Chains A and B, each alone.
Chain A
Amino acid sequence: MTRAAASRPRADAPTRSLVVADAVLTLTIAGSWRMDQALPALDPVRQALEATPPPKTLAFACAGVTGWDSLFLTQCRAILALARQRGVTADLAGLPDGVASLLALAEKVPERQGAARTTTHAPFLDRMADLGIGSVQAVHNLLEFLGEVTLAAVALVRGKAVFQRSQLTTLIYQASIDALAIVSLISFLVGLILAFVGAIQLSQFGAQIYVSTIVGIAMIRVMGAIMTGIIMAGRTGAAYAAELGTMQVNEEIDALKTFGFSPTQFLVLPRMIALVLMMPLLCIYADLMGVMGGFVVGVFMLKINPIQYLTHTWQSVPLANFWIGLVHSTIFGVLVAMAGCYRGMHCGRSALGVGQVTTSAVVTSILAIVIATAILTVACNIIGV
């Protein structure tokens, strides 16, 4: 009748009958009590235990049990709990081999008081207050992080920042060469789309040549920088958050701290340098690819002379737009690197936490890019460039 040796016949349905004699309630149990069988309901046992006068003792007769597993144990536990409630003494001697000892094992460590969770709904004002305190804490964390980054930047300028130069090279490579393919594709297609949208309108007036102006100004002034920023937010910013988050989970950041290294200098600074240096270069490359996208539409669809298209782009896009684009991309580099590193450094200590910080790094980066673009556009308008 051991668990491992018992067979699992479907036809061997579990049965339970009960007899009360001399204040002893005897449960006669037979058949296979396994997870793949439907078990008899507990109601008759409950009724027998709640009868007046109640039985004094509960006994089991299990000679006919051909197999059992955890489901049998849960039934026994439920019956014993009922018996305990009614003050009925249980005699476990008749249970199959091993069942009584497993039931005893389950009772060995009592349920820890207060361990079970209860869901309580805090009053509205409580929740508002919690929200307020949480926001203050978040602002505090952000300011602390900005302060640490500033101090790390000062240390860098003074030549006292401690980080691995070889790691910086790798990070620069990852944030530039590795990103070229995706930046090429997206920028080229954005240029192509801009040209298509403009071409439909402009060809009605015979002014197809101005497609080059639209594409040139849009890409070089802002779209090149925005597209690069968004690509790098999804690619590199997310990677920074996941890397630093995993390091947090693996206690690598704690290890750095105990060695006396500043995690901000050692981990955040090289990532910031890599992105801030590479974003403007990627932006210039994206500008070129975008113009190429417009060029393809202009030359092959609108039949504009290639030389004329390029010359017109060169003449109609003021150089100031190029510098504005570079300023945008440098700022985006700072924002994406900061969002990724800030989220990664504030990761919880679980795989779940890493997922959450990665998501929030991308969301924060894109939000920051859009807000920064709005501010810069208004600022450019005010100073008249």
Chain B
Amino acid sequence: MTAVSDNAAPPAPDANTAAIRVEGLTMAYGDFVIMRDLNFTVRLGDIFIIMGGSGCGKSTLLRVLVGLKEPAAGTVFYREGSLWDAPPDERHAILRRTGILYQSGALFSSMTLAENISLPLSQYTALPRGEIRDIVSLKLALVGLAGFEDFYPSEISGGMCKRAGLARAMALDPDILFFDEPSAGLDPVSAHNLDELILELRESLKATFVVVTHELASIFAIGNNSVYLDVETRTMTASGDPKEMLANATDPKLRRFLTRGQE
């Protein structure tokens, strides 16, 4: 873990309210540094938005948060402890409490939707087959896909694949759900419905959501906390509630981003 300069450090997060704490995080591909000195806290129950222009490293940050890419420096703390300093078994145990919705859904194409969702359940629980089937049909019903159990991903639309991916991400009742560009490739109505679904799930599940997106409509509709990654300075230049950012931010680049280039 690298030293963090005082002015960049976040207010000391309460261990009881922080779902994820990122400290002094630097990400790089080889010698090429993408983002440096990231410090932020995702609180329990947040819908936390990771935003920034194209190519600024939003998706890479997500990969670091979910254990797919090792950071060049710094670390990521979950409630159990540091993700990247934990031995592989512990890291898997931490990540089992998370669910990830990939950009395209990333459903396994050789399996039906029911098999996709039951895979983690049959692997990590001792539930009998009948109960797994009930849970699968519940998850599909929650995302509005009741009755589509026996369909293959190639037989349903892109938006449906995304919702089925969400059902799979929720299979093990995770405490933290990650979304990579949830509204990419969706029509405005479907994107709005997905936002509504995220809000309803947060309300009912009390889960924490981390959403990578640059869709302004989504950002303002669902986000209550966020971090803005600036592609030029290669670090975070703002964090907090996106609606307050829009009202108070003075940084011209951030204002341009939040107003779709209008200001």
Q: A70-B135, A74-B134, A105-B142 are in contact. Are A4 and B147 (CB under 8 A)?
A: no
Verify B206–A109 contact, CB threshold 8 A. no
Residue B131, interface by CB 8 Å: yes
- Chain B positions 143 through 164: 1 when the CB is less than 8 Å from some CB of chain A, otherwise 0: 0111111111110000000000
Residue B44, interface by CB 8 Å: yes
Complex Cα distance, B196 from A108, in Å, reads: 12
Residue B207, interface by CB 8 Å: yes
Q: How far is the CB of A109 from chain B (nearest CB, A)?
A: 4
Verify B138–A98 contact, CB threshold 8 A. no
Q: A3-B206, A69-B173, A111-B147 are in contact. Are A351 and B110 (CB under 8 A)?
A: yes
Q: How far is the CB of B105 from chain A (nearest CB, A)?
A: 12
Closest partner residue, chain B, to A100 (CB atom): B204
Give the residues in chain B near A5, CB-CB below 8 Å. Answer: 206
Verify B135–A4 contact, CB threshold 8 A. no
Residue A125, interface by CB 8 Å: no
Residue A2, interface by CB 8 Å: yes
Residue A301, interface by CB 8 Å: no
Complex Cα distance, B200 from A322, in Å, reads: 75
Residue A117, interface by CB 8 Å: yes
Give the residues in chain B near A63, CB-CB below 8 Å. Answer: none
Q: How far is the CB of B195 from chain A (nearest CB, A)?
A: 14
Complex Cα distance, B147 from A39, in Å, reads: 26
Q: A35-B127, A98-B204 are in contact. Are A352 and B109 (CB under 8 A)?
A: yes
Partner of A101, one of B45, B151, B173, B204: B204
Residue A73, interface by CB 8 Å: yes
Verify A116–B149 contact, CB threshold 8 A. yes
Closest partner residue, chain A, to B45 (CB atom): A4
Residue B203, interface by CB 8 Å: yes
Give the residues in chain A near B154, CB-CB below 8 Å. Answer: 348-350, 352-353
Residue A10, interface by CB 8 Å: no
Verify B138–A74 contact, CB threshold 8 A. yes
Verify B206–A4 contact, CB threshold 8 A. yes
Give 10 A-B contacts (CB < 8 Å), ordered by A residue: A3-B206, A4-B44, A4-B45, A78-B134, A101-B200, A106-B138, A116-B147, A349-B154, A352-B154, A355-B110
Give the residues in chain A near B131, CB-CB below 8 Å. Answer: 71, 74
- Chain B positions 102 through 139: 1 when the CB is less than 8 Å from some CB of chain A, otherwise 0: 00000001100000000001000111000100110011
Closest partner residue, chain A, to B173 (CB atom): A69
Complex Cα distance, B141 from A3, in Å, reads: 20
Verify A350–B144 contact, CB threshold 8 A. no
Closest partner residue, chain A, to B197 (CB atom): A105
- Chain A positions 184 through 202: 1 when the CB is less than 8 Å from some CB of chain B, otherwise 0: 0000000000000000000
Among A329-374, those with CB < 8 Å from B are 348-353, 355
Verify B109–A350 contact, CB threshold 8 A. yes
Residue B175, interface by CB 8 Å: yes
Residue B8, interface by CB 8 Å: no
Complex Cα distance, B124 from A36, in Å, reads: 10
Complex Cα distance, B149 from A36, in Å, reads: 24
Verify B147–A115 contact, CB threshold 8 A. yes
Verify A115–B148 contact, CB threshold 8 A. yes
Give the residues in chain B near A143, CB-CB below 8 Å. Answer: none
Give the residues in chain B near A3, CB-CB below 8 Å. Answer: 173, 205-207
Give A residues with C-beta under 8 Å from B. 2-5, 35-36, 69-71, 73-74, 77-78, 97-99, 101-102, 105-112, 115-117, 348-353, 355
Complex Cα distance, B150 from A97, in Å, reads: 32
Interface size class of B (residues with CB under 8 A): 35 or more
Complex Cα distance, B45 from A141, in Å, reads: 56
Verify A98–B203 contact, CB threshold 8 A. yes
Give the residues in chain B near A4, CB-CB below 8 Å. Answer: 44-45, 175, 205-208
Q: How far is the CB of A178 from chain B (nearest CB, A)?
A: 27
Give the residues in chain B near A106, CB-CB below 8 Å. Answer: 138, 141-142, 146
Verify A98–B205 contact, CB threshold 8 A. yes
Complex Cα distance, B146 from A77, in Å, reads: 13
Q: A3-B206, A105-B204 are in contact. Are A71 and B135 (CB under 8 A)?
A: yes
Q: How far is the CB of A96 from chain B (nearest CB, A)?
A: 10
Closest partner residue, chain A, to B146 (CB atom): A111
Complex Cα distance, B160 from A112, in Å, reads: 13
Not counting A74-B138, A111-B146, a sample of 7 additional A-B residue pairs whose C-beta atoms are within 8 angstroms of each other reads A3-B206, A5-B206, A97-B206, A107-B141, A116-B147, A117-B149, A352-B152
Verify A102–B147 contact, CB threshold 8 A. no
Closest partner residue, chain A, to B44 (CB atom): A4
Closest partner residue, chain B, to A115 (CB atom): B147
Complex Cα distance, B173 from A5, in Å, reads: 13
Give the residues in chain B near A115, CB-CB below 8 Å. Answer: 146-148, 151
Give the residues in chain A near B135, CB-CB below 8 Å. Answer: 70-71, 74
Task: Name the residue among A69, A74, A78, A117 with the largest chain B CB count within 10 angstroms.
Answer: A74
- Chain B positions 179 through 220: 1 when the CB is less than 8 Å from some CB of chain A, otherwise 0: 000000000000000000100110111111000000000000
Complex Cα distance, B145 from A46, in Å, reads: 28
Give the residues in chain B near A348, CB-CB below 8 Å. Answer: 154
Give the residues in chain A near B207, CB-CB below 8 Å. Answer: 3-4
Q: How far is the CB of A359 from chain B (nearest CB, A)?
A: 13
Verify B147–A101 contact, CB threshold 8 A. no
Give the residues in chain A near B142, CB-CB below 8 Å. Answer: 102, 105-106
Give the residues in chain A near B204, CB-CB below 8 Å. Answer: 98-99, 101-102, 105
Partner of B206, one of A98, A112, A117: A98
Q: How far is the CB of B194 from chain A (nearest CB, A)?
A: 13
Give the residues in chain B near A112, CB-CB below 8 Å. Answer: 146-148
Closest partner residue, chain A, to B109 (CB atom): A350
Verify A352–B144 contact, CB threshold 8 A. no
Verify A105–B200 contact, CB threshold 8 A. yes
